[in-house]
Amino acid sequence: MSTAALDLEAVRAQFPALASGVAFLDGPGGTQCPQPVIDAIGVYLRESNANLGGAFAASRRSDELVEHAHATAARFLGCRPEEIAFGQNMTTLNFALTRALGRTLLAGDEILVTKLDHDGNVSPWLELAHDRGLRVTFVEIRDDTSLDLDDLERKLTERTRVVAFPLASNAVGTLPDAARIVALAHEAGALAWADAVHYAPHGPIDVAALDVDVLLCSPYKFFGPHLGLAFGREELLRSWRAYKVRPAADEPVGHRFETGTLAHELLAGFVAAVEYLDDLGWPAIQEHERALGQRFLDGQPDNCTLYGLRTMDGRAPTFMFRVEGRSPREAAEQLAERKIAVWDGDYYAVEAIKRLGLQPEGAVRAGFVHYNTFEEVDRLLAALAEL
């Protein structure tokens, strides 16, 4: 399936959950898993379930799996296997990495984050600032939810040590200009620290092309199991003192940041998820998702207020809106009654919700991924019009 045309029937046949008839438009909160991912997890638990470093066969197979998972992650992100670290989830990994970096920072050093960020790339910095006497400053977004790069440039100083930003907003779908953000950060002598969690199911990631110093994502957002995945430049990781137990290996360097025993069965599922995406190919995925998003934009009912870009240019197919006369929770519940799964609330995009004046209830969020259909988009639009 590597051609530009997506065989949607064949795709959907690989996802057992879709047989329920529910329109899963909740992808921004976590995608469904194809059968090969489910099978890979089960096969590991049946045939290779063991800890690492043993003399027996199951342990050797687990050793091989861990090595293979790091190699697969490196290929997925465009880096070297030693620059990869797996963890419980993106947020936990980010707390670990920011704490390690924090050992090198001084009181008065500055961190820039954006009002597009998920709190997983905000609170670790706020907590570090609390402990180390640092300053965290927020880069503004414009009314259309694009990132204000002029504000970013104004706020960079000689004390800026990190610019943390998302490749895509998990709330409104905006894709910031990553190349410009990274260039501005590096010109100021700061690290570029990217959250790719929301972007990962929608397009390829190449950390070398992005020129980021750290990047984190979550396989359960791109059709895999619940895991965290991080890239860090090798020389950067080597410059930090990791929080780890003494017997744990120092090499490869990324392993220093993998505390305890990894969830090996989930690594098997991760490998299968990447292989599934390899088989489909990104051109087919992106073409279909763009068409789904345009269908939603073109059909917006009058009783809905959309927050974010009104075009598919510069955005992922993730949409945040309010329904007239319904609280976000009421709207989500009434859509659930129609077998349409969406999210309500703030989705941990605290600053974006605040900036758009949507506290405390937040808004409704619908997100499309490649296994969604035009019929599901039309079902959502019709249901919203009914509400």
Model confidence pLDDT, tens digit, residues 66-98: 999 999 999 999 999 999 999 999 999 999 999
The answer to whether residue 132 sits within a structural domain is yes
Do residues 166 and 308 share a domain?
A: no
Model confidence pLDDT, tens digit, residues 261-270: 999 999 999 9
The pLDDT of residue 4: 59
Average pLDDT, the chain: 97
The answer to whether residue 1 sits within a structural domain is no
Neighbours of 313 (CB within 10 A): 8
Do residues 69 and 146 share a domain?
A: yes
> What tokens were used for 167?
């490749």
Question: Among the three residues 223, 246, 276, which one is the final residue of a domain in this structure?
Answer: 276
Task: With CA atoms as reference, report the closest residue to 383 among 347, 334, 322.
Answer: 334
Which residue(s) pair with 124 in the sheet?
none
Do residues 214 and 83 share a domain?
A: yes
Confidence grade of residue 5 (pLDDT, cut at 50, 70, 90): confident
Do residues 296 and 185 share a domain?
A: no
> Any idea how long the chain is?
387
Do residues 112 and 153 share a domain?
A: yes
Do residues 159 and 51 share a domain?
A: yes
CA atoms of 231 and 238, how far apart (whole Å): 13
Residue 357 corresponds to which amino acid? G
CA atoms of 84 and 265, how far apart (whole Å): 18
Do residues 112 and 197 share a domain?
A: yes
- Half-sphere exposure of residue 137: CA atoms within 13 angstroms, side-chain side: 19
The answer to whether residue 340 sits within a structural domain is yes
Q: Are 147 and 174 in contact (CB under 8 A)?
A: yes
Confidence grade of residue 2 (pLDDT, cut at 50, 70, 90): very low
Strand stretches in the chain, DSSP E? 23-24, 84-87, 110-114, 135-139, 160-166, 191-195, 214-217, 228-232, 304-307, 318-323, 340-341, 343-345, 363-367
CA atoms of 255 and 66, how far apart (whole Å): 11
The answer to whether residue 26 sits within a structural domain is yes
Q: Which domain holds residue 346?
A: 8-32+281-386
Model confidence pLDDT, tens digit, residues 228-281: 999 999 999 999 999 999 999 899 999 999 999 999 999 999 999 999 999 999
Task: With CA atoms as reference, report the closest residue to 84 among 242, 228, 193.
Answer: 228
The answer to whether residue 3 sits within a structural domain is no
The answer to whether residue 369 sits within a structural domain is yes
Question: Among the three residues 251, 276, 301, which one is the final residue of a domain in this structure?
Answer: 276
Do residues 288 and 153 share a domain?
A: no
How many distinct structural domains can be found in the chain? 2
The answer to whether residue 77 sits within a structural domain is yes
Model confidence pLDDT, tens digit, residues 25-65: 999 999 999 999 999 999 999 999 999 999 999 999 999 99
Say whether pLDDT at 216 is over 60: yes
The answer to whether residue 107 sits within a structural domain is yes
Do residues 128 and 262 share a domain?
A: yes
Say whether pLDDT at 339 is over 80: yes
- CATH number for the domain spanning 313: value is 3.90.1150.10
Place of tokens 């934009």: 297
Do residues 318 and 169 share a domain?
A: no
Do residues 297 and 266 share a domain?
A: no
**What is the pTM (predicted TM-score) of this model?**
0.96
Do residues 28 and 157 share a domain?
A: no
Q: Are 102 and 240 in contact (CB under 8 A)?
A: no
Q: Are 74 and 84 in contact (CB under 8 A)?
A: yes
- CATH number for the domain spanning 129: value is 3.40.640.10
Strand stretches in 169-323, DSSP E? 191-195, 214-217, 228-232, 304-307, 318-323
Average pLDDT of the segment spanning 184-203 = 98
Question: Among the three residues 231, 253, 276, which one is the final residue of a domain in this structure?
Answer: 276
CA atoms of 80 and 91, how far apart (whole Å): 22
